[in-house]
Structures are given as C-alpha cells and as structure tokens.
Amino acid sequence: MLPKQIQVFERGWLSSNNVLLRGADGAALIDSGYLAHAPQTLALVEHALGGERLARLVNTHCHADHMGGNRALADAHGCRVTIPAGEAPLIDRWDERELVLGFADQRAERFRYDDTLAPGDTLRLGDVDWQAIAAPGHDPHALMFFAPEPGILISGDALWEDGFGVVFPALFGELGAFGEARATLESIAKLGVRTVIPGHGRVFTDVARALERSFYRLDGYEEDVTRHARHCVKVLLVFALLEKQRMEIAALPRYCDEVGLLRELNARHLHMSPERFAEWLVADLERARAIAREGGDIVPLVLA
C-alpha cells in the first residue's frame, strides 16, 4: 500500500503511530508517541535508520500521545522540529491545561521547535511532496498531510478506520467544533485519498467506509453532546490505565475528583458523585471489555 521509503510504526493507543520517511533530504518522522514510550520510539527509529541521523521531526498536532517523544528524539538526533503554526503559542506558554497534559493526568517533556507549518504549505519528505491541510475538530490547530500523486493521507486523529479523536472544544461549550470536525471529514472525502495512515490503528484503504463510520458517530455526538462526554471520560481513564497498567478500584473516586478534566466533564455533563462516577466508569469499561478486574484493581485489556 505504501512506497518503500515510507515506514509506519503502528503503536497502540498510548502512543500515536510514527511515520518514518526516507529521501534525498534525509530521514523524517511524523509524530513521536507518548513520553512513557520514548525509549521504545528511539529504539524503533534507530533500528530502522541503521545509524543514519533523523533529520526532521514533524507533528500533526501537539497532544501528549503525538509529541511525547519530541524532546528525546531532538536530544538524540539534533533534528529539526516542526509543529503546526497554531500550536506554537501553546508550546511557548507550556500551559498544561491548554495542552491537555497535567489537566488530564498526561505527560510530555517541554521541547524546542525550529519552525512551523500552516495550512496550504507544502513539505517534501521521503522524496514525496505533501500538502499541509487544516484538520480542526479534535484539535483546533491540527494538520493532516496529503500526497496527491500516490493518494496517501497522514490523517493524525482527524480520521481513523473506526472513528476520530475526541472533539475536546465541544465538551466545553464550543459546539461549533463539531461543525469543524464535519468540515474536516468532508475535506478528506474530496481529496481522492487512496490510502490513510491514521494516528492510531492500522493503515487502511477503505476510505469511504471509514468516513461513513465517522459521519455516523459525529451525527450522534451532535445530537447529544453528553454522549460524547461519556465517550471522552472513558477514553481518558483507559489512557491513564494504559500508562499505569494497574489502578486500585477503591482509589478511583478520589482519582476522578483530582484529575481536572475528569472532574470538570463530570460536573458539566454527567452530574454524578465521585463514587458513582467511578463505579459507572468501571462497569461500562468492563462491559466493553476494555478493562478487567484483578482482585481490588483494574487492568487494561486494550493494547498500549
């Protein structure tokens, strides 16, 4: 499905996929995964490059699971770091609420960047020309990268095979963000994409089916934002569990009340006591076979 100079490291859900592109201008990586996986990301890149230096690192957006390895890669390779232009003020301020870091019990190391990309820019990676395309919704400043000739889209979290990333702004009253997510999906439908490299999950070619699923999900979220809030808090708890690997059930009410994003989403949309909130989360995730009980703990069943 992909030219030989493009290699995808398919990760799990704690780290985004990493896309390695090799060409005349040197090797480049798109997205760097989560901080806890930074040693693994470094090992994957160094094994694939066989001693060659990574020349450039590009981010689709600046959430923890996509930029968590930036500092480690930059320190190890001295590579040029490029981020979406809209993310630059957030990285400069390094506000952990704006960046959905400590506010969501997620982590990343502060890093330097060398330049930015804006929608409409073109970059050459792996001897292929890529168009930077705005992809608001999940992140208002996110970019996708499209190569028209081979028809390849690096979609970040704007489109997966079975959905898309949480539309965070909509959960805090910016309901227009759902419209932005819809416009992003509609823009993908017009591109003539033949292969998608998503931010999570496998590379896929049935783009029409993936878009159909995403539009269906988005319709439901637009009809009832509380449905999206329920989805989001479950995603957040599973993400935390993937990093920690084990959490004590008795401690979950306190955890849900101490993590700012969980606490605020509960207060705004779900209106449960911390005890009831934790009980509902465990029961629903257990029913979905995303977690399991082991003694007095919960453990993840999905891949990190």
164-214 confidence digits (pLDDT tens):
999 999 999 999 999 999 999 999 999 999 999 999 999 999 999 999 999
The span from the CA of 96 to the CA of 102, in Å, is 5
Average pLDDT, the chain: 97
pLDDT digits (tens, 9 = 90+) for 222-239: 999 999 999 999 999 999
Whether residue 126 contacts residue 5, with contact meaning beta carbons closer than 8 Å, is answered with: yes
The closest of 107, 97, 82 to 15, measured between CA atoms, is: 107
The closest of 4, 51, 49, 50 to 28, measured between CA atoms, is: 49
Residues of the chain above pLDDT 90, percent: 98
Q: What pLDDT does 304 receive?
A: 74
> How many residues are present in the chain?
304
- Residues 104-111: what's their mean pLDDT? 98
Question: Does residue 214 sit in helix, strand or coil?
Answer: helix
pLDDT digits (tens, 9 = 90+) for 20-51: 999 999 999 999 999 999 999 999 999 999 99
Q: What pLDDT does 303 receive?
A: 81
Q: What pLDDT does 205 receive?
A: 98
Q: What pLDDT does 231 receive?
A: 98
The span from the CA of 240 to the CA of 282, in Å, is 13
* Pairing of the two strands 54-58 and 26-30: parallel
pLDDT digits (tens, 9 = 90+) for 61-72: 999 999 999 999
The span from the CA of 251 to the CA of 77, in Å, is 41
Q: What pLDDT does 147 receive?
A: 98
- Residues 268-274: what's their mean pLDDT? 98
Task: Give Cβ neighbours of residue 277 (< 8 Å, ≥ 6 apart).
Answer: 233, 253, 256, 262, 266, 270
Decide if pLDDT at 152 tops 90.
yes
* Pairing of the two strands 6-9 and 143-147: unpaired
Beta strands in the chain (DSSP E): 6-9, 18-23, 26-30, 54-58, 80-84, 115-117, 122-125, 128-134, 143-147, 152-156, 195-198, 247-248, 291-294, 297-300
Task: Give Cβ neighbours of residue 276 (< 8 Å, ≥ 6 apart).
Answer: none
Question: pLDDT class for 1, splitting at 50, 70, 90?
Answer: confident
- Residues 249-261: what's their mean pLDDT? 98
Whether residue 195 contacts residue 150, with contact meaning beta carbons closer than 8 Å, is answered with: yes
Decide if pLDDT at 277 tops 80.
yes
| Token pair for 188 | 């993908």
Whether residue 139 contacts residue 166, with contact meaning beta carbons closer than 8 Å, is answered with: no
The span from the CA of 211 to the CA of 163, in Å, is 8
The closest of 30, 40, 24 to 199, measured between CA atoms, is: 30
